[in-house]
Amino acid sequence: MTDVIILGEVGPQTAADGTSPPFRQGRSGEAVMQHLHGRFYEQNFRGVLYSGGMGLTSISAATFSTATLGATCTPVIGVRNLSTSQVNLVILQAVLGLTITALAATGAGPFVWATAIAQTGLTLGNQPLNRKTLDQSGSAARDMTGLALTGLAGNLTVRQASGLGGGSASSAAFTATAVAMQTGQVSYVEQIDGAIIVPPGGVLALLATTTPVAHSAASGLLWEEVAL
């Protein structure tokens, strides 16, 4: 058996793309491995990180829930990949915050993720935010958050529960008083980390499971666009 000696270099390095610098070592000869920059920095620096979402918006309608899965469905969070795109949308993170806007309110129930595939007829959608330039340009996707899925063929299919929540914990009508306030929930972040991919023609939507009353939401979705 032949021993292989791997030599490194002590201290920080500055390398250009396409070069092969030596492994970095510490002053005791140890191999140095570390996280550099933020978790999503590399994707963002390469210009492939995008997001969508909405500011505080009333979701007090059945169209924001699983009661409406067709073309009038309005995702609390939603994205579609253009059928002609050359990328997959690799979903990284979702954020949801809910607030109760009246004493008499009904909660949204657990939130769920719903999907559709092979969609070519959708007509609406906002240009997502490029997280590197802070400009709404360059994405192969369309942000469907708060917009009806006009042109959807067939229905969405509920796939799984989401880790997101908020608002009243009661899915039945409840009127708060000075001695019986609404049970509140805080904002949530769901770390999806690539466990959901939206292919060309695909749609992903976050929906309530009961029809909220007197609830407004702020939401966000973060994804990376990866070439096929």
Q: Name 142's bridge partners.
A: 80
Cβ–Cβ under 8 Å, residues 60 and 168 = no
Domain of residue 211, residue span: 39-227
76 within some domain: yes
25 within some domain: no
pLDDT at position 19, please?
87
29 within some domain: no
DSSP 180: B
173 within some domain: yes
pLDDT at position 185, please?
64
pLDDT digits (tens), the chain, 228 positions: 677 777 788 887 788 888 888 888 877 777 777 677 889 999 999 999 999 999 999 999 999 999 999 999 999 999 999 999 999 999 999 999 999 988 889 999 999 999 999 999 999 999 999 999 999 999 999 999 999 999 999 999 999 999 999 988 777 787 777 666 666 667 899 999 999 999 999 999 999 999 999 999 999 999 999 999
Whole-angstrom Cα distance, residue 4 to residue 165? 53
Whole-angstrom Cα distance, residue 190 to residue 95? 6
110 within some domain: yes
93 within some domain: yes
pLDDT at position 161, please?
98
pLDDT at position 11, please?
81
pLDDT at position 23, please?
81
What would the DSSP string read from start to end of 117-174? Answer: -S-------BPPEETTT-SS-S-SEEE-TTS--TT--S--EEEEE-S---S-S-SS-E
186 within some domain: yes
17 within some domain: no
pLDDT at position 193, please?
97
